[in-house]
Amino acid sequence: MRAILTKRVPFLLLTLFVSSVLIFVATEILPVDVARNMLGQFAPQEAVDALNERLGMDKSPLERYLRWLGRVATGDFGESTSLRSPVGPLIIKHAINSGILAGAALLLIMPIALLLGIVAGLYPNKFADRVISLSSLTATSTPEFVVGVLLLLVFAVKLRVLPGSSALVVERTALETPSKLVLPVLTLAIVDIGYVARMMRASMIEVMRSAYVRAAKLRGVPFHRVVIKHALRSALLTPVTVVMLHINWLVGGIVVTETIFAYPGLGQLMLTAANARDVALLEAGALFFAIVAVLSQVGADILYIWLNPRARMNSA
């Protein structure tokens, strides 16, 4: 564990630094006058110029970047021009909501997808495998916005058993009204269950055809022990590590899902910031997503080493 952190941390810090540069350059390209956004379209130019000077917007791009990076290092992400509020608390509040949504989706995705993949991999080309493979392919090829709209039509409009909007009007967190999480979680889970199940199926088939599994069968080891003791751990290597890397893709699905259901998560916040050309909020949100990507990479490496004894010996 210590060896992988020693090797990875410098590279990950460099990745975050490069990401911060790209984020800043991308926001510099936007034709946005921050002071004009804050004061309004009818504010006198003198007031706009004075505010730009106070914010340091009259400095060179390099000076502004270094100043922004210094503030970020101390936890100061500036103030949102559209919501008139400090950016840091906004990011934390909406990230918690997105984390609840993503966590609930992963808790639903992992056991179902892995079980379906194991069954399909143990009985390839049988009836169960064909049904699971066809269902997984259909789910994976269906975009989140299509799944979300269909779930809305069925459960919110037709049956009226679940709320069609996940907006948190009086609630502090989504956990106070779990019913508002059901449709967004299902939207994320249906697509990702198919993807993970297909990965697990392919990994299980490969492991069951390996030499050491065939040797265990020839020694008369019961089938269930062959699966649980010899095959399952090795078969989990690929899907589990891919799922950790897949978190970044899940974030993209969250943005779409939050928009469909008006869920107040980080994706919805970034959409609001983009529409309002809120530079400070966009920079902070993009940097947060970069940090999530970096941490998911570290998590994938740690899981892979834990599941693979050979990798543990190499990293020691």
Q: 282 is in which domain, residue-wise? A: 88-315
Q: Which has more pLDDT, 286 or 31?
A: 286
Whether 134 is in a domain gets the answer: yes
Whether 4 is in a domain gets the answer: no
Tell me whether residue 93 is exposed, middle or buried, using C-beta atoms within 10 angstroms of its C-beta: 0 to 12, 13 to 18, 19 or more: middle
Whether 48 is in a domain gets the answer: no
pLDDT digit string, tens, across residues 288-306: 888 887 887 777 777 777 7
Whether 263 is in a domain gets the answer: yes
Summarize the confidence of residues 144-169 as an average pLDDT: 88
Whether 8 is in a domain gets the answer: no
Summarize the confidence of residues 206-222 as an average pLDDT: 81
Lowest-confidence segment of 105-114, 165-174, 206-215 by average pLDDT: 165-174
Instruction: Return the residue matching tokens 């789910």.
Output: 139
What's CA 41's distance to the chain center, in Å? 36
What type of residue is 264? P
Residue 125 pLDDT > 80:
yes
Helices (H), the chain: 2-29, 34-39, 45-55, 61-73, 87-122, 127-140, 144-151, 179-208, 211-218, 223-225, 232-261, 266-276, 279-307, 309-315
Backbone phi, then psi, for 26, in 5-degree steps? -60, -40
Whether 21 is in a domain gets the answer: no
Whether 127 is in a domain gets the answer: yes
Q: Which positions ≥6 away from 92 have C-beta within 8 Å?
A: none
Summarize the confidence of residues 207-223 as an average pLDDT: 81
SS3 state of residue 62: helix
Which pTM was predicted? 0.80
Confidence class of residue 222 from pLDDT cuts 50, 70 and 90? confident
Whole-angstrom CA distances from 184 to 28, 57, 255 are 34, 40, 11
Contact assessment for residue 283 and residue 24, using Cβ atoms and an 8 Å cutoff: yes
As for how many domains the chain has, the answer is 1
Whether 58 is in a domain gets the answer: no
Instruction: Read off the CATH number of the domain in which 202 is found.
Output: 1.10.3720.10
Spatial separation of the C-alpha atoms in residues 223 and 208, rounded to whole Å: 11
